[in-house]
Amino acid sequence: MADVPALEGPQKKASPLLLIAALAGLTVVGGGGGWLVGTMVAPKVKQAQEEQKAAEEKKAEHGGKGEKGAEGLPKMPGAAAGVVQLDPITTNLAYPSENWIRLEVALVFKGPVDTALAESIHQDIVAYMRTVSLQQIQGPRGFEYLREDLQERVDVRSEGRVSKIMFRTFVIE
């Protein structure tokens, strides 16, 4: 049986001129695509910067408070109804210590909002979360136990002035 490459003869090599032309064509197409995307995105970026600048000017006109109250705690739209969103809590777990947890919780007050109490509850939750292990909060049952433990701590700390703790986000990394 005859060898197929031997029957075809010597292989032809690609011309270096053809390779250079192909590279130049790809460069032009890539540059044109980048220019097209840039012209489509640039007006949106400029508009977003102008909106941000206008928002900062408006914030400066209102005494720099913006969405945060004078106490430094962000308020939810329901703040008048006694709901306060605490600052996000990000800390590592007790075991394994390389795992991190991020919580955002809100407190529902019975009656007027007490920001000093909300801040002490925030610190209490941070301290508690540093003692929790990953095995304790795994799965739906573990999350329910965590919620009940935090609710109990909030009840003790607030002496009944906070009726409920609501989880807004809960992420373990």
Are 51 and 81 part of one and the same domain? no
**pLDDT band at residue 3, thresholds of 50, 70 and 90?**
low
Q: How confident is the model at residue 11 (pLDDT cuts 50, 70, 90)?
A: low
Give the domain range for residue 47: 13-66
What pLDDT is attached to residue 60?
Answer: 75
User: Residue 62 is encoded by which pair of tokens?
Assistant: 């209102």
In a domain, 7, yes or no: no
Tell me the pLDDT band of 147, cut-offs 50, 70 and 90: very high
Mean pLDDT for the chain overall: 83
Same domain, yes or no: 118 and 139: yes
60 domain-assigned = yes
CA atoms within 13 A on the CB side of 48: 5
pLDDT tier, 76 (very low <50, low <70, confident <90, very high otherwise): very low
101 plus 38 within the same structural domain: no
Distance CA 67, CA 72 (A): 10
Output Rg (C-alpha) for the chain, integer angstroms: 30
Confidence of residue 66 (pLDDT cuts 50, 70, 90): very low
Residue 155 lies in a domain: yes
Please check whether residues 134 and 165 belong to one and the same domain.
yes
The amino acid occupying position 139 is: G
pLDDT band at 89 (very low <50, low <70, confident <90, very high): very high
Residues 43 and 113 in one domain: no
Total structural domains within the chain: 2
**Mean pLDDT of all residues in 121-134:** 93
Residue ranges of alpha helices (H) inside the chain are 4-8, 16-61, 115-129, 139-158
Shared domain for 61 and 118, answered yes or no, is no
Q: Which residue type does 11 have?
A: Q
Global model pTM greater than 0.75: no
Does 118 or 73 have the greater pLDDT score?
A: 118
Q: Does residue 89 sit in the same domain as residue 43?
A: no
